[in-house]
Chains A and B, each alone.
Chain A
Amino acid sequence: MKSKANVVIVGGGIIGASIAYYLAKAGVEDIIIIDKEYPSSGSTGRCGAGVRHQWGLEMNCLLAKDSIMEFERLHEEIPTDFDIDFKQKGYLMLAYTDKQVEQYKKNIKLQKSLGIDVNLLTPREAKEIVPHLNTEDLLAATFCPKDGHINPFIANLVYIIGAERLGVKVQKYTEVIDVEVKNGKVKSVLTTKGRVETNYLINAAGPYSQHIAEMAGVKIPVYSERHQILVTQPVKLIQDPMVISLKHGFYCQQVPHGSFIMGFGDPNELKTTELSSSWNFMEEMAERVLPVLPVLKDFKVVRQWSGSYNMTPDAQPILGNSEEVNNLYFACGFSGHGFMLAPSVAKLTAQMLTDKPLDIDVNVLNLKRFAEDKLIKEPSVV
């Protein structure tokens, strides 16, 4: 492994890979990605593979809109033989209470003002889009046809290929074990394969981001939380959109390949980076999803797995550099929606590092918001 690099990125998931690509595209040279395993071995390769515009804060809508636009044109940006399987058949978000309907109406007003096509549907209209939807007790739903599914492994791989073409080095199976800081600056990174001196360190380590920050002497208020998912055998294509119910706490989509993927937010999940599977997950998943999508009962589950959400106190990411160690940049704490925001976050991080004006104002996502008690309130986190 090389002993010096201008920029060291810890983590080769979609965040680290896309930051490397956009930095190299901006003309930054001598970048190395260090991953303890390989790109998409962590949270990217374990995610629910959905991308949506339907957020409740302007900043999040703009980040999502820009990211989805970049995913739409990724095959032009980085031409390869790989297809990211972008299925833009929408997200259908179900509302079961008056309060939820009111929130969704507010969200839609905001989203429309930002040029995002989202509509409030009656239960009957929702059933036209998902014929097997049980609309009992359903009051309304929102639908954005441009939301959808992307293959996270391939999207990650395409950004790695793009970065490597621009000279970025990817160091797999190499773990960062310490960070040397002198006079408020990261000087070098110690890994299991040797030491690398560097001018910048970017913490894109996903569930391990708090450990990397701690090595540099910076405390970040994040923790990792296990989330579980299951996938069924492929069946004929019957469900266009991702279906989300905040009331039941689940999301469920059919990927282009035919499998159904689903998961739910479990308040009792382990607060750890451990990636084991629990015996009760499948039972609870079935109990939540089958009343709403009963057709799924005959589909066979082939696999369950788990991944980590890197959670912040307000479920919003941490971007920008540290005031204490000012050449340490964060792109972590995505709280379960890092994959879908990656391209936009990566472009902005590249703009920060190269002192360019930011396309989207994300200064509120700085680490100091926690100390200053300026938490962000996003109403549409699953």
Chain B
Amino acid sequence: MDDKIIICRCEDITVGEIKKLVSMGLDTIEELKRVTRCGMGSCQGRTCQGLLQSTLRDITGKPVSEIKPHKFRPPSKPVPLGIFGGEHIEE
């Protein structure tokens, strides 16, 4: 796979960067997320997660079923902070 292919478009992470980190022993999605921010952007992994899994399959030879996706956290889509408690502070 071309090293320049972008896996995570929120954070501009390429296949080449993933390959380099896997060679350093960072071979799980949670570890890669923390170091690269892949999955931490606006999509929260909804776009990149599957691509990252198949890339890790290609690099490591493990089946996708053994490549655990990262933990999904609330909220399920980006929500303005004001919605959670802002009403009474509106001018």
Measured CB to CB, the residues of A under 8 A from B are 37-38, 40-41, 45, 82, 153-154, 157, 230-233, 257, 277, 279, 282-287, 289-291, 294, 296-305
Contacts and interface: CB of A to CB of B under 8 A. Distances in A.
Contacts of A257: 37
B71 to A, nearest CB: 8
B90 to A, nearest CB: 8
Contact of B80 (A40, A82, A297): A297
Contacts of B75: 282, 301-304
Contacts of A282: 74-75, 81, 84-85
14 contacts: A82-B35, A230-B81, A233-B78, A257-B37, A282-B75, A286-B86, A290-B82, A294-B89, A297-B86, A298-B80, A299-B80, A300-B81, A303-B44, A304-B73
Interface stretch (B26-34, B50-58, B59-67): B26-34
A291 B89 contact: yes
Tell me what chain A mostly uses at the interface: helix, strand, loop, or mixed. mixed
Interface of B: 28, 30-31, 34-35, 37, 40-42, 44, 73-75, 78-82, 84-86, 89
A38 B73 contact: no
B34 A45 contact: yes
A303 B80 contact: no
B18 to A, nearest CB: 15
Contact of B84 (A40, A157, A283, A302): A283
A90 B84 CA distance: 28
A286 B81 contact: yes
Given A286-B86, A303-B40, 12 more contacts: A82-B35, A279-B74, A282-B74, A282-B84, A282-B85, A283-B84, A297-B89, A300-B80, A301-B75, A303-B74, A303-B75, A305-B73
B78 to A, nearest CB: 4
Nearest to A156: B34
Nearest to B28: A38
Contacts of B79: 300-301
Given A153-B35, A157-B35, A296 B85 contact: no
Contacts of A296: 81-82
Most buried by A among B30, B37, B80: B80
A153 B35 CA distance: 6
Contacts of B42: 233, 300, 302
A287 B89 CA distance: 9
A277 B71 CA distance: 12
B61 to A, nearest CB: 19
Contacts of A230: 81
Given A40-B34, A157-B35, A233-B42, A283 B85 contact: yes
Contacts of A303: 40, 44, 73-75
Nearest to B21: A157
A297 B35 contact: no
